[in-house]
């Protein structure tokens, strides 16, 4: 009888992850998969079916909150319970560590599975892509030197209600010149950053006040003019959605942000771009 076996992911499995994300048409590159494994080396898993590696999932624990992502199954192995077994294994891993809240961004195909496992809807995320038109330079926005980073991470925690310092330090250190900040008087207005992707540059996170956010996105449009970008925006943040659509990006699909356990409620009016479906 053919069986699904779950084992820890290792560095040797990163090409498998990349192949599966490419097969799904997703945007990850090798650096993303290396980051997943480095941030939670004991919480990334591979599914084998009849001895062949056919699926992946990753987790990342931020204190009492964890994210599940990269639930991928090879097309040839779908419909055999691989995805369910991966999710059940990941949830046991997180439950054993006392994680109070598990979150994920679900595509429509995966949402029924997550609902069966106890996840509930929180809010919808709109995924936009497109080529950026030329935009003028924006005054008052600068590269965030490393001595800014702790302040940026404090702001991020205030808005997301999650201590994502491990993730943000990694993103900032990988692309330090991509971290941009604005001050409004003596106060921090917000920040945005970006990273390369397979199909498009990923813009986000962008965490900022209502006044600062349009300036930060305008700065992103200026710096990446002529390039293809992808950005995820909470649908409930109407100002952000309207800004992105009015500046040339097209809605590609929506995701559902879901939660299992104690709810975490972000200040969505200050969340103008998530970091992506991998870590919220």
- 135 located within any domain: yes
What domain range includes position 268? 127-273
The candidate with the shortest Cα–Cα distance to 240, out of 276, 280, 268, 202, is: 268
50 shares a domain with 14: yes
Q: In the block, which residue shows the tokens 């650096």?
A: 31
Residue 67: give its domain's CATH number.
3.40.630.30
pLDDT given at position 185: 81
- Looking at the fold, whether 169 and 86 belong to one and the same domain comes out as no
| pTM, 2 dp | 0.95
Per the structure, the count of domains in the chain is 2
- Residues 142/266/203/24 CA torsion (nearest 10 deg): 160
232 and 143 belong to one structural domain: yes
User: What digits encode the pLDDT tens for the residues 198-232?
Assistant: 999 999 999 999 899 999 999 999 999 999 999 99
**90 occurs within a structural domain:** yes
Q: Of all helices (H) and strands (E), which one includes residue 261?
A: strand 250-261
Q: Which has the closest alpha carbon to 94: 53, 43, 22, 28?
A: 43
Residue 119 in any domain: the answer is no
Convert the pLDDT of each residue in 80-138 to its tens digit: 999 999 999 999 999 999 999 999 999 999 999 999 999 999 999 999 999 998 889 99
How many Cβ atoms from other residues are within 10 Å of residue 66's Cβ?
A: 26
Q: How sure is the predictor about 184, in pLDDT bands with cuts at 50, 70 and 90? A: confident
**Does residue 80 sit in the same domain as residue 177?**
no
Same domain for 136 and 91: no
Both 149 and 48 in a single domain?
Answer: no
Confidence at residue 146, expressed as pLDDT on a 0 to 100 scale: 94
Same domain, 261 and 135: yes
Q: Give the span between the Cα atoms of 252 and 230, in whole angstroms.
A: 10
């Amino acid at each position: 009888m053919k069986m699904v076996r779950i084992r820890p992911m290792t560095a040797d499995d990163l090409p498998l992850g990349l192949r599966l994300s490419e097969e799904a048409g997703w945007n990850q590159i090798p650096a993303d998969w290396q980051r997943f494994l480095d941030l939670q080396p004991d919480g990334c898993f591979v599914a084998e079916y009849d001895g062949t590696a056919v699926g992946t999932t990753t987790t990342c624990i931020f204190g009492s909150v964890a994210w599940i992502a990269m639930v991928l199954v090879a097309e040839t192995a779908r419909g055999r319970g691989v995805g369910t077994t991966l999710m059940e294994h990941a949830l046991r891993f997180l439950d054993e560590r006392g994680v109070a809240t598990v979150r994920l961004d679900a595509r429509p195909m995966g949402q029924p599975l997550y609902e069966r496992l106890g996840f509930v809807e929180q809010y919808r995320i709109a995924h936009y892509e497109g080529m950026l038109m030329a935009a003028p330079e924006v005054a008052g926005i600068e590269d965030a030197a490393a001595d800014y980073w702790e302040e940026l991470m404090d702001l991020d925690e205030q808005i997301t209600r999650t201590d994502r310092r491990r993730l943000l330090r990694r993103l900032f250190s990988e692309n330090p010149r991509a971290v941009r900040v604005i001050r409004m008087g003596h106060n921090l207005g917000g920040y945005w950053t970006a990273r390369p992707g397979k199909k498009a540059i990923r813009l986000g996170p962008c965490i900022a006040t209502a006044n600062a956010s349009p300036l930060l996105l305008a700065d992103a449009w200026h710096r990446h003019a002529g390039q293809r970008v992808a950005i995820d925006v909470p649908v409930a943040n109407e100002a952000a959605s309207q800004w992105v659509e009015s500046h040339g990006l097209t809605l590609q699909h929506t995701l559902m942000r879901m939660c299992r356990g104690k709810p975490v409620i972000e200040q969505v009016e200050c969340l103008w771009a998530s970091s992506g479906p991998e870590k919220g």
